[in-house]
């Protein structure tokens, strides 16, 4: 994609840190989400079914306690998932030393987006430039504080994070109106 400054519509930047990385891991469609949305309800249903069946087999009516235990188990399962996965996410992030403090500059163009990142550590400094057409976008996930751009390239799915507080109102509207699948999460 040929880029010249007259084609740039909007710009913003993002600085990676552990907190934002965790938000991204819980927002994008991945193994954690599959567990939260499939395994946790299945486990809660199984426990609830067991409580109802046990009371019924013992000749008791199904009481309010049994019915109210369903939401309790749903909440408990989500808390356990967070307790289990937060340390794993932190360990994964810390294993990628180059990511901590990485600055990514985004330039939104007429026909695509350019990601320019710069890493510098004690051994090397490196600048990378990636360009994708909007047709490569698989999905845009919007949360209360961030956008997550899921881009498909050569069969791989890459996630780029954008902090809304670093965006102009025009850029927020531009991202919300991109012609791709969108999902809003209240996180």
Q: Determine the 3-state secondary structure of 19 from DSSP.
A: helix
- Distance from C-alpha of 105 to C-alpha of 145, rounded to nearest angstrom: 18
Mean pLDDT of 59-84: 69
- 111 and 153 co-located in one domain: yes
Model confidence pLDDT, tens digit, residues 137-167: 888 888 888 898 888 877 777 788 899 999 9
User: pLDDT class for 12, splitting at 50, 70, 90?
Assistant: very high
- 106 and 159 co-located in one domain: yes
Higher-scoring residue by pLDDT: 103, 27: 103
Mean pLDDT, the chain, whole residue set: 76
Looking at residue 59, its pLDDT comes to: 67
The answer, yes or no, to whether residue 171 has pLDDT greater than 90, is yes
List all residues 6 or more positions away from 33 whose beta carbon is below 8 Å from its beta carbon.
Answer: 26
Q: How many distinct structural domains can be found in the chain?
A: 2
Its domain, for residue 149, covers: 5-16+101-184
- Distance from C-alpha of 94 to C-alpha of 135, rounded to nearest angstrom: 32
For 72, left (φ over 0), alpha (ψ -120 to 50), or beta?
alpha
The CATH number of residue 140's host domain is 2.30.29
Looking at residue 1, its pLDDT comes to: 47
pTM (two decimals): 0.66
- Which one of 95, 114, 138 terminates a domain? 95
Which residue in 7, 21, 5 sits closest to 160, CA to CA?
21
- 70 and 127 co-located in one domain: no
Cα separation values, 147 from 80, 93, 160, 182, Å: 26, 19, 8, 10
The answer, yes or no, to whether residue 84 has pLDDT greater than 70, is yes
């Amino acid at each position: 994609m040929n880029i010249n400054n007259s084609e740039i519509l909007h710009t913003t930047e993002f600085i990676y840190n552990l907190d934002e990385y965790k938000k991204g891991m819980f927002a994008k469609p991945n193994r954690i989400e599959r567990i939260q949305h499939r395994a946790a309800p299945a486990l809660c249903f199984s426990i609830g079914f067991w409580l109802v069946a046990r009371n019924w087999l013992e000749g008791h009516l199904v009481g309010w306690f049994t019915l109210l235990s369903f939401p309790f188990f749903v909440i408990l399962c989500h808390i356990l998932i967070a307790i289990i996965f937060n340390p794993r996410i932190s360990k994964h992030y810390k294993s990628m030393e180059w990511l901590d403090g990485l600055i990514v500059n985004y330039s939104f163009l007429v026909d695509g987006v350019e990601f320019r990142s710069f890493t510098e550590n004690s051994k090397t400094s490196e600048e990378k430039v990636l360009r994708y057409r909007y047709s490569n976008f698989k999905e845009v996930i919007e949360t209360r504080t961030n956008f997550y751009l899921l881009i498909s390239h050569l069969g791989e799915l890459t996630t780029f994070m954008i902090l809304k507080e670093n965006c102009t109102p025009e850029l927020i509207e531009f991202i919300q109106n991109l012609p791709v699948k969108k999902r809003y999460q209240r996180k």
